[in-house]
């Protein structure tokens, strides 16, 4: 709901969240995630019972009473327009649109083909690099990105670098790379503090020959949470590569995109080229 704020505003919708959590806990949650909308404390779960969402649930063989995540659309007079029980986060906006009789936003026209500029950086390999075309370089990257499932994400905060493995995917035009993380992680906190990040993808086989034939790509760019208008498209690209739907759909999970500013491609010992989007 936070990420869809502009779309909800266009539809004339004011989101309100409600849960049995105490106000102090809700405030800490809001401080952490900067929700940007009002939410209310229903400690006695009286409202939850009135709305039919206080129900018996089962976890690990144990039963308990809890909230059934649901969405209610209420007009300015307090009349209930529609309701969806057992709703997942990514179903909320489509539910609102359908209830209001709104169609999905018109599909955007196909983006123009991205042009890349190739720059030679290894002076002692000029003859070899001069025969390498931009198309060959981008095809090489696309092939590498399709074969490799994981890469190293490098972030930084307060002068302290941090690296860890992430499962990544790319857009076909190579302009965006994406990965998934929980909000309660060091890398997410680092990105919130400094959105400039790097991803390192390589084809190592852990053999001595890697030094002569290996390919390593450093992608530099800006990381940000994927906007709601692009989320379904990017989500489908990500799930086509990784069977991580339960993790991706978890409430605390964020799909991050990196807007690529530059690729630094190193092949063998000293052949280095850079690919940047042409202006």
> Half-sphere exposure (CA, 13 Å, Cβ side) for 150?
6
The values of phi and psi at residue 15, to 5°, are -75, 140
Residue 109: the pLDDT is 46
pLDDT at 188 over 70: yes
pLDDT attached to residue 131 = 54
What the block records as the tokens of 85 is 């029980």
Task: Decide if 139 contacts 150 (C-beta within 8 A).
Answer: no
pLDDT digits (tens, 9 = 90+) for 6-65: 778 878 888 999 999 999 999 888 887 778 888 899 999 999 999 999 998 877 778 889
* CA gyration radius, the chain: 23
Enter the tokens of residue 86.
Answer: 């057992």
Least confident range of 60-64, 150-154, 163-167, 182-186: 60-64
Tell me what the mean pLDDT of segment 96-124 comes to: 70
Residue 169 near residue 238 (C-beta atoms within 8 A): yes
Tokens of 160: 């302290």
| 21 secondary structure, DSSP code | S
Q: What is the pLDDT of residue 88?
A: 83
Residue 112: predicted pLDDT: 57
Residues 189-245: tens digit of each pLDDT: 999 999 999 999 999 888 888 888 889 999 999 999 998 888 888 998 999 899 898
> 157, 156, 176, 178: which is closest to 167 by C-alpha?
178
- Are 72 and 51 in contact by the 8 Å Cβ rule? The answer is yes
Q: Where are the alpha helices (DSSP H) in the chain?
A: 5-10, 23-33, 46-50, 92-99, 126-130, 134-147, 186-193, 210-213, 228-241, 245-248
* pLDDT for residue 133 is more than 90: no
* Count of CB atoms situated within 10 Å of the CB of 265: 21
Secondary structure (3-state) at 266: strand
* Residue of 255 and 212 predicted with greater confidence: 255
Other CB atoms within a 10 A radius of the CB of residue 215 amount to 19
Tell me if 84 sits within 8 A of 69, measured CB to CB: no
């Amino acid at each position: 709901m936070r990420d869809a704020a502009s779309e909800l505003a266009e539809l004339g919708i004011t989101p309100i969240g409600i849960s049995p959590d105490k106000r102090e806990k809700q405030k800490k949650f809001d401080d952490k995630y900067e929700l940007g909308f009002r939410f209310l404390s229903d400690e006695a779960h009286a409202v939850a019972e009135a709305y039919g969402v206080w129900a018996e649930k089962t976890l690990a063989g144990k039963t308990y009473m809890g909230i059934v995540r649901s969405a209610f659309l209420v007009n300015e007079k307090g009349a209930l327009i529609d309701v969806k029980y057992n709703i997942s986060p990514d179903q909320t906006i489509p539910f609102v649109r359908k209830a209001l009789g709104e169609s999905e936003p018109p599909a955007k026209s196909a983006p123009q083909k991205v042009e890349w500029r190739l720059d030679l950086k290894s002076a002692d390999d000029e003859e070899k690099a001069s025969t390498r075309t931009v198309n060959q370089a981008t095809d090489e990257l696309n092939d590498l990105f399709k074969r490799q499932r994981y890469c190293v994400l490098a972030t930084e905060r307060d002068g302290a670098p941090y690296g860890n493995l992430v499962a990544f995917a790319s857009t076909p035009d190579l302009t965006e790379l994406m990965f998934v993380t929980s909000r309660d992680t060091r890398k997410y906190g680092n990105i919130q503090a400094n959105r400039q990040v790097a991803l390192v993808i390589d084809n190592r086989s852990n053999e001595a020959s890697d030094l002569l034939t290996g390919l390593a790509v450093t992608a530099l760019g800006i990381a940000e949470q994927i906007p709601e208008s692009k989320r379904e498209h990017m989500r489908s690209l990500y799930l086509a590569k990784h069977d991580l739907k339960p993790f991706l759909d978890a409430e605390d999970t964020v799909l991050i995109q990196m807007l690529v500013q530059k690729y630094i491609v190193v092949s063998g010992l000293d052949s280095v080229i850079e690919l940047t989007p042409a202006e």
